[in-house]
Chain A
């Protein structure tokens, strides 16, 4: 079972929910931090990193002695990552999407495999939870390939909880695709609602069942709840604003550490998610 914790709006509590859920799970659950631009789960789970791997992607390297400056590589590249000026081929590795087109069309076999570093994947165990996290290299623009690598690094037999990045564009899609359930963390404010609608739109495109956690549930208005009702999105958990939670968060401590009674609520949340997944597969069969 893969649960992806997403949100649309940033700072609504994805990492809080993902980490608390993971430690409440018991054994056999891995947390994947797929917010590779700003991975934060490690600040709460404190994993001891015992393995680290650099992830690279293909970029072309041109052997000038073989190149005939025929421009076929520049013509096929839709990302302007390779161009020919006079007799000289220029490669802009930061723009390359690693499609390999230049290599395929080069009649002189002058293009070999080079590498651009996307970032690192790290493995560790923290607070009883195996953690796999991606960390993008500062300056690297493309996060989806690294997110896909983090996902591929997980054991598919395990229960998986994914901490997704904010937003609704390609990195979020990479962190949600193929999940069994999307847990959407939101707050009951106009910004929370607006971004929730966009994120739910993305989830519906992917056809994955989805439920809500409303964080800081008592700060705001009732429009998120109204929207959830109208869209038939189950509200699975509400977390009130509590200075104690906010202060604990600020020091890197989880809710279940400062208020152990919440462990039960997160376990219930997990049970509800399982029920929702089951119900949605039934609904699909009915149709």
Chain B
């Protein structure tokens, strides 16, 4: 089984629109939305939810005022300044380490496990989909990403599907680390801007750290052809295959409003043709077709 993860470093470069398009073009696969913080893929794929599961994160400390003797031990121990002088725990500041819970001399602190979000198994017109919703202002996004990737791979194995296409989160932190470890390859969707270049460099550093090969797709390449050239040079320097260029096209926004992937919305548009070609290049790339490939940058 292979897993392709679409990532970008910088947000808003077109990951989700392209993931949706790829999943329309691919056969016998599962789609996974690993951007659990701000999941948007469902807006294009209109999943019909078949299974709904609660995602339980860690505990949060709650001081019971009845039992509390106001000795101050918990306040002294807490490294996150989460307990105020009235012995009320600030749920947002609480890291969930449970040190106060274990060391309260009178056992006055409860530590209920929190529901941090939900994850779903759904049917869509392009195949099965595993996706999730992290609760607002919650932690543990990395854990939820790992959870849905595990479920996607379990489901793919059960269904005999050979490919998972995953929409990844932006950035290079906790959820991204959880989204790319052990993936077959990453598609980097990058815009030809100074920020795009800067963020791509950091992301490819992270990818080499985890030894996952990358493929580069430049989106809106015509906004700055010179910068597009620099991105592609950078890719070659880092042994990243360039799988193609997508032109800037307001059709993306129109397709999004229509709730369709761009390749469905305007099959005959040049931008759709470019994306079909890119998908062929990805599917035929060495990174997606040979096991144990190692990048050396």
- Seen from chain A, the residues whose Cβ lies within 8 Å of a Cβ on chain B are 8-12, 15, 37-38, 40, 43-44, 58, 76, 78-79, 97-101, 104-105, 136, 138-143, 165-173, 177, 189-191, 194-195, 198-199, 201-202, 205-206, 219-221, 243, 246-247, 249-252
Contacts and interface: CB of A to CB of B under 8 A. Distances in A.
Contacts of A220: 253, 257
Nearest to B92: A173
B9 to A, nearest CB: 6
B16 interface: yes
Given A101-B102, A167-B169, A219-B253, A247 B223 contact: yes
B79 A43 contact: no
Given A38-B199, A78-B97, 16 more contacts: A38-B171, A38-B202, A43-B194, A44-B194, A78-B58, A78-B59, A100-B77, A100-B79, A100-B99, A138-B205, A141-B142, A167-B170, A167-B171, A173-B92, A246-B223, A251-B227
A170 B40 CA distance: 19
Nearest to B14: A11
B102 A38 contact: no
A252 B137 contact: no
A140 B12 CA distance: 22
B91 to A, nearest CB: 10
Contact of A97 (B10, B97, B195): B97
B198 interface: yes
Nearest to B172: A37
Contacts of A194: 38, 40, 43
Interface string B34-77: 00011010010000000000000011000000000000000001
Contact of A169 (B97, B138, B202, B209): B138
A219 B250 CA distance: 8
27 contacts: A10-B11, A12-B12, A37-B171, A38-B10, A38-B195, A38-B199, A98-B79, A99-B97, A100-B99, A141-B174, A166-B38, A168-B37, A168-B38, A168-B134, A168-B137, A169-B134, A169-B138, A171-B173, A173-B92, A190-B40, A190-B259, A199-B38, A202-B136, A219-B253, A220-B253, A247-B223, A249-B193
By CB atoms of chain B within 10 A, which of A99, A172, A252 has the most? A99
A44 B198 CA distance: 12
Contacts of B269: none
Nearest to A221: B257
A11 B12 contact: yes
A136 B38 CA distance: 21
A285 B287 CA distance: 61
Interface in B129-179: 134, 136-139, 141-142, 169-177
A11 B11 contact: yes
B198 A43 contact: yes
Contacts of A173: 92, 137
Interface residues of B, number: 60
A247 to B, nearest CB: 6
A103 B102 CA distance: 13
**6 closest A-B pairs by CB:** A10-B11, A11-B12, A99-B97, A37-B171, A167-B37, A101-B99
Nearest to A39: B198
A171 B11 CA distance: 15
Nearest to A142: B174
A76 B173 contact: no
A170 B58 contact: no
Nearest to A170: B139
Contact of B191 (A105, A190, A250): A250
Contacts of A100: 77, 79, 99
A98 to B, nearest CB: 6
Contacts of B171: 37-38, 165-167
Nearest to B117: A169
B137 A170 contact: yes
B77 A250 contact: no
A168 B32 CA distance: 19
B12 A105 contact: no
A104 B73 CA distance: 12
A142 B80 CA distance: 14
B193 A167 contact: no
B256 A104 contact: no
B261 interface: no
Contact of B223 (A12, A141, A195, A250): A250
A76 B102 contact: yes
Interface string B203-225: 00110010000000000000110
